[in-house]
Amino acid sequence: MKKRKRRPLTEKQKKLIQAIQKKPDSTLDELGRRAGYSKEARHNAWRALQSPAVRTRMAQIMENDPELRDSSLLKTLKEGLKAEDVRYVGMGARRVAEKDYAVRKEYLQLAFRLRGDLTPEEAAPVNNFLMKISMTGLARIAQGENPSSVLEDEKNKPS
């Protein structure tokens, strides 16, 4: 069996990688437009990110940056799953920390996307799913349990 030759990066793929490096918090639609994709920019950017050449180049870039190595990313992801909203109240400025479910949800979605379990097209249903589930359920999913069975348990849980 012949080994497939890896294709070099296209100009649009190179521009996509540069766009990610310049503004990593951009949406796929924004990144796709910056890279020169016109129609269905988000979809084309997502497809480009799935190509072996782009994935390899992104992995090289990330490995060369200590803050982007797997161990650093995992640490940050774990911290995000424990996000709190901290406020200071009263005359004595008493510290009050509450769980920040919105931020935790974003980090959980990121974890699913990093694992390849979530594409941009699937994000909307996942948002609805996450609104219906408790933090205990989210923790179970983060530890590797099947999301469908966790949601079923949540539905059957007495109020």
pLDDT digits (tens, 9 = 90+) for 128-157: 555 555 666 766 776 777 777 777 777 777
pLDDT at residue number 49: 85
In the structure encoding, which two tokens stand for residue 157, read together?
């849980």
Domain annotation covers residue 4? no
Q: Which residue has the tokens 């109240």?
A: 89
Domain count, the chain: 2
Domain that holds residue 43: 9-62
Let me know whether 78 and 107 are in one domain: yes
Q: How many residues does the chain have?
A: 159
Same domain, residue pair 144 and 108:
yes
Residue type present at position 51: S
What is the structure's pLDDT at 143? 72
- CATH number where 49 lies: 1.10.10
What pLDDT score was predicted for residue 1? 55
Q: Which residues of the chain are modeled with pLDDT < 50?
A: none
Phi, psi of 7 (to 5 degrees): -75, 145
